[in-house]
């Protein structure tokens, strides 16, 4: 990762243990996330389909994570060999898949939190809003909007990488300071807003659960599942998304290339943790849909979601 923002086209990268560690980390993330998200997506589609807003959001989150996982072999190869023979277009696509995953995953996780919030606090009034059609439209808007907003970034990155005629640093490439500052600041504000939404949703849900009576081990377990859903969501934001984005801003003022490289590796781990959201969000996640029964009379948030 070059610390020189005015001339990122370097002749070559020298082998280092730091690059080797990045290759190992990405390799481990790939080994875990690819099968995990593939199996999760298969289970979601086979056992739950697109029959609820909750399932639709999770299918899209799994698809986003799977796209990131599919780009990780390129990162492993680059950091293991410090060579990039695949061309500028492939490099641009691999870099943008990571950035798009951060943005789409953060949105889908927030939508999942909001979906749970309205399902718990407004179980009856929200039924007309929490439909499969509405969830599909929201997800389509997210993909289209994020893609459109990334087009200028894609063009800029591709053009700058094209200028590197001798050696393509790919994942160690950094654009101009001004462009990087704009991107980092926009993403930081965007993620901060989503984090606030998740915090508010978590507080409201905890307050709502405390006001409702709880009797029996089943309802206690359901409450724990609801709390764990929001805990995982907050964990993803506070550990994987925000440090990476904030370090982008700090790194522009000083050279923290090694720290930023480590936080990018850490951010990629989010695709390994997201399947926990599926497990705690949908009752009988591992069961066939024909064996699943929904109890609409309980305060279980995950059961309420299955109704729509």
| DSSP codes, 217-276 | HHHHHHHHHHHHHHHHHHHIIIIIIHHHHHHHHHHHHS--HHHHHHHHHHHHTHHHHTHH
Compute the C-alpha angle 198/305/54, nearest 5°: 60
- Predicted pLDDT of residue 179: 59
What's the rounded Cα separation, in Å, for the pair 57 and 104?
11
Q: Which residues in the chain show pLDDT less than 50?
A: 1-7, 215-218, 220, 284-308
pLDDT digits (tens, 9 = 90+) for 94-111: 999 998 988 999 999 999
Give the global pTM: 0.81
**DSSP single-letter state for residue 236:** I
- Predicted pLDDT of residue 5: 40
- Tell me the two tokens of residue 270: 């989010």
Domain 17-286+297-302 belongs to what topology?
A: Rhopdopsin 7-helix transmembrane proteins (1.20.1070)
Query: Dihedral (C-alpha) 188, 194, 195, 200: value to the nearest 10 degrees?
Result: 150
What's the rounded Cα separation, in Å, for the pair 169 and 215?
60
What's the rounded Cα separation, in Å, for the pair 94 and 77?
12
- Predicted pLDDT of residue 154: 92
Instruction: Map out the domains of the chain as residue ranges.
Output: 17-286+297-302
What's the rounded Cα separation, in Å, for the pair 308 and 304?
8
b vs e for 69-106, b when ≥16 Cβ sit within 10 Å of the residue's Cβ? bbbbebbbbbbbebebeeebeebbbbbbbbbbbbbbbb
What's the rounded Cα separation, in Å, for the pair 257 and 73?
22
- Predicted pLDDT of residue 140: 96
């Amino acid at each position: 990762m070059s610390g020189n923002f005015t001339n990122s086209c370097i002749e070559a990268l020298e082998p280092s243990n730091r690059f080797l560690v990045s290759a190992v980390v990405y390799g481990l993330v790939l080994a875990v996330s690819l099968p995990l998200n593939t199996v999760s997506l298969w289970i979601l589609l086979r056992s739950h389909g697109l029959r609820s807003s909750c399932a639709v959001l999770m299918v899209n989150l799994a698809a986003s994570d799977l796209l990131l996982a599919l780009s990780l072999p390129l990162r492993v190869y680059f950091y293991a060999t410090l060579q990039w023979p695949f061309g500028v277009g492939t490099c641009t696509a691999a870099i943008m898949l990571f950035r798009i995953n951060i943005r789409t995953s953060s949105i889908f996780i927030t939508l999942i939190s909001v979906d749970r919030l309205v399902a718990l606090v407004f179980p009856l009034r929200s039924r007309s809003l929490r439909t499969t059609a509405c969830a599909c439209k929201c997800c389509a808007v997210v993909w289209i909007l994020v893609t459109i907003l990334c087009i200028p970034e894609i063009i800029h990155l591709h053009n700058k990488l094209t200028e590197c005629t001798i050696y393509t640093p790919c994942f160690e490439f950094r654009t101009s300071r001004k462009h990087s500052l704009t991107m980092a600041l926009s993403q930081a504000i965007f993620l901060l807003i989503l984090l606030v939404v998740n915090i508010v949703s978590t507080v409201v849900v905890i307050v709502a659960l405390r006001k409702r009576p709880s009797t029996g081990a089943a309802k206690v377990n359901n409450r724990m599942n609801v709390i764990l859903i929001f805990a995982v969501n907050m964990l993803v934001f506070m550990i994987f998304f925000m440090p990476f984005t904030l370090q982008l801003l700090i790194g522009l003022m000083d050279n923290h290339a090694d720290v930023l490289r480590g936080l990018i590796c850490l951010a990629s781990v989010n695709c390994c943790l997201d399947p926990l959201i599926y497990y705690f969000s949908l009752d009988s996640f591992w069961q066939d849909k024909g064996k699943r029964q929904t109890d609409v009379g309980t305060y279980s948030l995950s059961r309420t979601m299955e109704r729509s």
